[in-house]
Amino acid sequence: MATPSGDVVTVEILGQRYPIRSSLDINYVTELANYVDRKMQLAAEGTEGGDSVRVAVLAALNIADEYFRSKQTSGETSGETSGEKNRLVVELEQIVEAALKRSSSD
């Protein structure tokens, strides 16, 4: 169940705290953040002296690879995604953009 569009949940990713405003369920946003945190930790372990932007890009590529492989496995093509999936992708893009803006201004 989605929360009202003003709810904020604070998550921690790679040691940084991010307040995330989202209409998605708070538990779902927390689960997503935990997943991203794990991916970033794995990317950081495999990168010598990598800064957080480099680690984030490597984690994003890994997540994108998982997404595309999942899409291929399920038989979807780019025109066959559901409206709900598209809405979630847009929401997640907005969350990531907001987090990146906040971290670059710190």
Q: pLDDT digit string (tens) for 9-53?
A: 999 999 999 999 888 899 999 999 999 999 999 988 877 777 888
User: What pLDDT is recorded for position 81?
Assistant: 56
Q: Are 14 and 52 in contact (CB under 8 A)?
A: yes
Residue 21 pairs with which residues in a beta bridge? 8
Q: Which residue has the tokens 């680690």?
A: 55
DSSP 3-state of 6: coil
Q: What are the extents of the domains in the chain?
A: 8-105
Rg over CA atoms, the chain: 15
Bridge partner list, 16: 13
Dihedral sign for Cα 60, 28, 89, 98, please: negative
Instruction: List the structure tokens of 103.
Output: 């971290």
